[in-house]
Chains A and B, each alone.
Chain A
């Protein structure tokens, strides 16, 4: 299972509503990837409740770590280093993983590596694409983040653009709630949109005037709400699937357009997507097509690696580890940690 030179990372992730642990070999080979999802619990409240998430994390954290070791068929002794997400995310949620990881590192005397959550999402692409190496462009789209990033080297990033207001996934959640689909919005809209006409309603494609790579989705969200209101006033029946499909098309168009703009401007031959929204089927196929047209190789992780997981933290943690990055026992959760900062 393990050679002398192999680096085995035990990774822990608890930044939002998934408690996860994984064992990753040499940054690219996932030996186990355990995720305990709380989605069903938060559905009762129409979204993630931070205190409930934190309570659930502490209930599950040891269980996922033990399962990760067991499934990887390794013991704690085989582990080279402990990696943990320390931001960005919900502070109370992050603190559970950070505190447990620090205690494990302390008790075993193994090195500790604090990992940036978004770095994790980007690194998810390394797992299934063994040939992918920096530099490349990456679009990170999730419930909390919308970033267009240049991955210059392992652990080195330049942010070209980000959202000025709502994250793409946040817009999905809010629109899903407004049209009665509920939480989590992303997968629900994706599913319903397949039955709808994406050209049925013309929603805006927002541009940020002074920054071509930045995003803005709050205007789009308002446009959907206004449309729903006006339908109600006029007594017109709302076609849920058409609204979902048209809204989704509007988001996807903007994401693809920005990504292609960056690829052309900087001459990238590789584009990756990452984050929860990266598993959206419309985004994947539209991006695939656009990349093909522009002669760009398109990379995307499997859905299980798009959602929050610890395998991606193990992948990112590996590259931090071999660079010599270490965290102290005073490692704290940093809820608004910026990409590329420590």
Chain B
């Protein structure tokens, strides 16, 4: 199967094309231009470079949240437009899961951190485990992706008591605070594997596609993990 993957959930814009475990192309940018200006031109460039015939694609995987609301919508709207025109299903991939997948196979815990503003991070805790008789590791959620305060996730890691690797743009924002609060052995992933990559979205997307976890392009929408400010304030007033 051939899958196109997009990730514009954070500061990074990334596009990948993967065919049967073979990463044919990946284009990742971490630059100040808005995703609206970069994502589709990047895809166009990839298409030209690898002479991609769009009609040979089987699915479009997209980092479907959490993340920057606008960034998520640029990725999802692009995926929906492609899905509509090419009559392809969408494979929504959890953003934090895909970020964790960067560290495939580690025996440490993995804790991705994305800056979620309002004093919170989008995060989760993961490990890689092998099923009996299996040759490949599976990504396992110890704490599924969520929006919490940094302190809360660090306390959870301290309770778990195992060595952890942090990654994601939240590390840049919270490094000092992490070092101050963490009580277990820890490290920060290097720049080669500490940001969103569409290849990770594609790889997880392939697994999800095989498991039938797909949506139509019409029904797909991002999973923000958060209400809008107006909805939140309205609910608070009602309580």
Contacts and interface: CB of A to CB of B under 8 A. Distances in A.
Interface of A: 44-45, 49, 51-52, 54-55, 57-59, 61-63, 65-66, 76, 91-92, 95-104, 106-108, 328-333
Interface in B168-203: none
B77 A99 contact: yes
B43 interface: yes
Nearest to B47: A106
Nearest to A55: B228
Interface in B128-152: none
Contacts of A330: 36-38, 40-41
Contacts of A58: 73, 76-77, 80, 221-222
A91 B36 CA distance: 11
B73 A45 contact: no
A103 B79 contact: yes
Nearest to B228: A51
B51 to A, nearest CB: 14
B84 interface: yes
B218 A102 contact: no
Q: Categorize the interface residue count of chain B.
A: 35 or more
Contact of A99 (B54, B73, B218): B73
A104 B41 contact: no
Contact of B218 (A63, A95, A98): A63
Interface stretch (B17-25, B93-101, B156-164, B229-237): B229-237
A58 B70 CA distance: 11
Contacts of A101: 81
Given A55-B224, A62-B84, 13 more contacts: A45-B230, A49-B230, A52-B231, A54-B73, A58-B76, A92-B70, A95-B74, A97-B77, A100-B80, A100-B84, A104-B85, A107-B86, A331-B36
Contact of A54 (B36, B69, B83, B234): B69
A107 B77 contact: no
Contacts of A52: 228, 230-231
A62 B26 CA distance: 27
Contacts of B79: 103
Contacts of A104: 81-82, 84-85
Nearest to B36: A332
Contacts of A59: 221
Contacts of B43: 106, 329
A329 B77 CA distance: 14
Interface of B: 34, 36-41, 43-44, 54, 69-70, 73-74, 76-86, 217-218, 221-222, 224, 228-231, 234
Question: B41, B54, B70, B85 — which one has the most chain A CB atoms within 10 A of its CB?
Answer: B85
Question: A55, A76, A97 — which one has the most chain B CB atoms within 10 A of its CB?
Answer: A55
A55 to B, nearest CB: 7
B217 A62 contact: yes
Contact of A102 (B70, B81, B224): B81
Nearest to A106: B40
Nearest to A56: B221
Question: B39, B40, B77, B224 — which one has the most chain A CB atoms within 10 A of its CB?
Answer: B77
Contacts of A51: 69, 228-230
Contacts of B218: 62-63, 66
Contacts of B69: 51, 54-55, 92
A306 to B, nearest CB: 27
A57 B218 CA distance: 12
Contacts of A99: 36, 39-40, 73-74, 77-78, 81
17 contacts: A44-B234, A51-B228, A54-B69, A62-B80, A65-B84, A91-B70, A92-B69, A92-B70, A99-B36, A99-B81, A103-B80, A106-B81, A107-B86, A329-B40, A329-B43, A330-B36, A330-B40
Contact of B44 (A66, A91, A92, A106): A106
A321 to B, nearest CB: 18
A103 B77 contact: yes
B4 to A, nearest CB: 10
B228 A49 contact: yes
A329 B78 contact: no
Question: A58, A92, A95, A99 — which one has the most chain B CB atoms within 10 A of its CB?
Answer: A99
